[in-house]
Amino acid sequence: MSISFQTKVWNLAGEGQVYLGAFMGIVLGLQIPNWPPVIAVIAILVMGFIVGSVLGLLPAALRLRWGVNELITSYMASLIILPVVNYFLAGPMKMPGAGINTTGYVNKAFVFPKILPSCDLHLGFALALVLVLMTYYFLYRTATGYSLRIYGFNEEFARYGGIGEAKCVLVAMIASGGLCGLAGITSSLGVFHGRMVEFSTYSMGWNGIAVALIARNNPFGVIPAAFLFAYILTGANLSGLLADIPPEVAQVVSAVIYYLITAQALWRIKLS
């Protein structure tokens, strides 16, 4: 998300990318139960990345070829993907005898091991940290990352400087979509013990936007921001269990975060 927003390309397909990434990754995992675990996990992760980035590529290509607003096409693409995946979860891919709509489990060896035994902290977390480092390196230490940032900063200036629109939009959407897909498959392999549950990753795409906002699109800022947000979400879910407050309260909280962080005038008052 940070990548696409730094380029000022709008990826609203996060929801669909996360969901499809999780689903296709698990489907692949179910097909290859006998592969060596390390190779299989890498294949699954690559699958998640690819399907996510393909879903990002579609709006990007439409924008470049015909100037279709990517904000709307990516949102529509996401709306189309969610029910289609749900169809497969409820029908062809459903685990026989399961009470909820879910796929079967992949080979246990593929599931991310837990780092701390007492909680859900799994290897996916380490993977996320590595990706943060890679994203930082990409955005701030490579020529392509520099072009992306310049493009997001000032489109006209980038064009005069010889930075192609096509390259920036494509790279941003592919990277952003791919990372969303990875997010989905990581949560399926980690939190959900190697299966794909219906609705399991809903609203993760929106939360990603909130996190990128809190971090002000800085890859390192994403880490504390994600922790803060995860804390809010866990709190919301707990309050749903303990009191008569629905977990939707988290939506309200993230909306208020969106509001407050984007309200730039507030920041200016504080600084002056």
The residues that touch another protein, with contacts defined as CB under 8 A, are 10, 12, 62, 66-69, 71-73, 75-77, 79-80, 83-84, 86-87, 90-91, 206, 209, 213, 244-246, 248-252, 254-256, 258-259, 261-266
CB 19 within 8 A of CB 13: no
CB 87 within 8 A of CB 98: no
SS3 for 45?
A: helix
Q: Which is nearer to another protein, 27 or 261 (CB)?
A: 261
Distances (CA, A) of 119 to 107, 114, 177, 190, 191: 21, 8, 29, 11, 10
Q: Which is nearer to another protein, 40 or 55 (CB)?
A: 55
Q: Which is nearer to another protein, 46 or 249 (CB)?
A: 249
Q: How far is the CB of 110 from another protein (least distance, A)?
A: 27
Q: How far is the CB of 265 from another protein (least distance, A)?
A: 4
Q: How far is the CB of 74 from another protein (least distance, A)?
A: 10
Contacts by residues 147-151 (CB-CB < 8 Å, ≥ 24 positions apart):
148/3, 148/6, 148/7, 148/172, 149/6, 149/7, 151/7, 151/8
Q: How far is the CB of 102 from another protein (least distance, A)?
A: 15
- Report d(CA 134, CA 142) in Å as an integer: 11
- Report d(CA 55, CA 254) in Å as an integer: 25
Q: 3-state SS of the chain: helix, strand, coil percent to 5? A: 70, 0, 25
Q: Which is nearer to another protein, 164 or 246 (CB)?
A: 246
Q: What distance lies between CA 13 and its chain's CA centroid?
A: 9
Q: Which is nearer to another protein, 115 or 245 (CB)?
A: 245
Q: How far is the CB of 33 from another protein (least distance, A)?
A: 27
Q: Residue 143, exposed/middle/buried by CB under 10 A (0-12, 13-18, 19+)? A: exposed
Q: Which is nearer to another protein, 57 or 90 (CB)?
A: 90
Q: Which is nearer to another protein, 69 or 154 (CB)?
A: 69
Q: How far is the CB of 92 from another protein (least distance, A)?
A: 10
Residue 135 corresponds to which tokens in the numbers above?
């994203």
Residue 62 corresponds to which tokens in the numbers above?
């439409």
- Report d(CA 188, CA 131) in Å as an integer: 17
Q: How far is the CB of 117 from another protein (least distance, A)?
A: 35
Q: Which is nearer to another protein, 41 or 213 (CB)?
A: 213
